[in-house]
A and B are shown apart, each in its own frame.
Chain A
Amino acid sequence: KDQVFQPSTVASSEGAVVEIFCNHSVSNAYNFFWYLHFPGCAPRLLVKGSKPSQQGRYNMTYERFSSSLLILQVREADAAVYYCAVCGNQGGKLIFGQGTELSVKP
Chain B
Amino acid sequence: GAGVSQSPSNKVTEKGKDVELRCDPISGHTALYWYRQSLGQGLEFLIYFQGNSAPDKSGLPSDRFSAERTGGSVSTLTIQRTQQEDSAVYLCASSLEDRGAADTQYFGPGTRLTVL
A residues lining the B interface (CB < 8 Å): 4, 30-31, 33, 35, 40-45, 48-50, 83, 85, 87-99
A30 contacts B104, CB within 8 Å?
no
Q: Given A40-B109, A41-B109, A42-B4, answer yes or no on A92-B99 (Cβ-Cβ < 8 Å).
A: yes
User: Which single member of A33, A50, A87, A98 contacts B42 (CB below 8 Å)?
Assistant: A98
Which residues from B are CB-within-8-Å of A50?
Answer: 101
**Interface presence of B14 (CB below 8 A):** no
Which residues from B are CB-within-8-Å of A88?
Answer: 100
Rank and list the top 3 A-B pairs by shortest CB-CB distance, nearest first: A31-B101, A96-B43, A98-B42
Interface residues of B in 44-68 (CB under 8 A from A): 44-45, 48, 55-56, 58-59
A-B contact count (CB 8 A): 75
Interface residues on B, range: 20 to 34
B42 contacts A94, CB within 8 Å?
no
Cα distance, A49 to B102, chains bound together (Å): 9
A98 contacts B45, CB within 8 Å?
no
6 A-B pairs besides A33-B101, A43-B107, A94-B105 with CB distance below 8 A are A42-B109, A87-B100, A92-B95, A92-B103, A96-B42, A99-B43
Which residues from A are CB-within-8-Å of B45?
Answer: 93-96
Q: Given A90-B100, A92-B95, answer yes or no on A97-B42 (Cβ-Cβ < 8 Å).
A: yes
**Interface presence of B8 (CB below 8 A):** no
**Interface presence of B33 (CB below 8 A):** yes
Which residues from B are CB-within-8-Å of A96?
Answer: 35, 42-45
CB<8 Å pairs between A and B, sample of 25: A33-B105, A35-B107, A42-B4, A42-B109, A45-B106, A48-B101, A83-B43, A85-B43, A87-B100, A88-B100, A89-B100, A90-B100, A91-B48, A91-B56, A91-B98, A92-B48, A92-B95, A92-B98, A92-B99, A93-B45, A93-B56, A93-B58, A96-B35, A96-B45, A97-B42
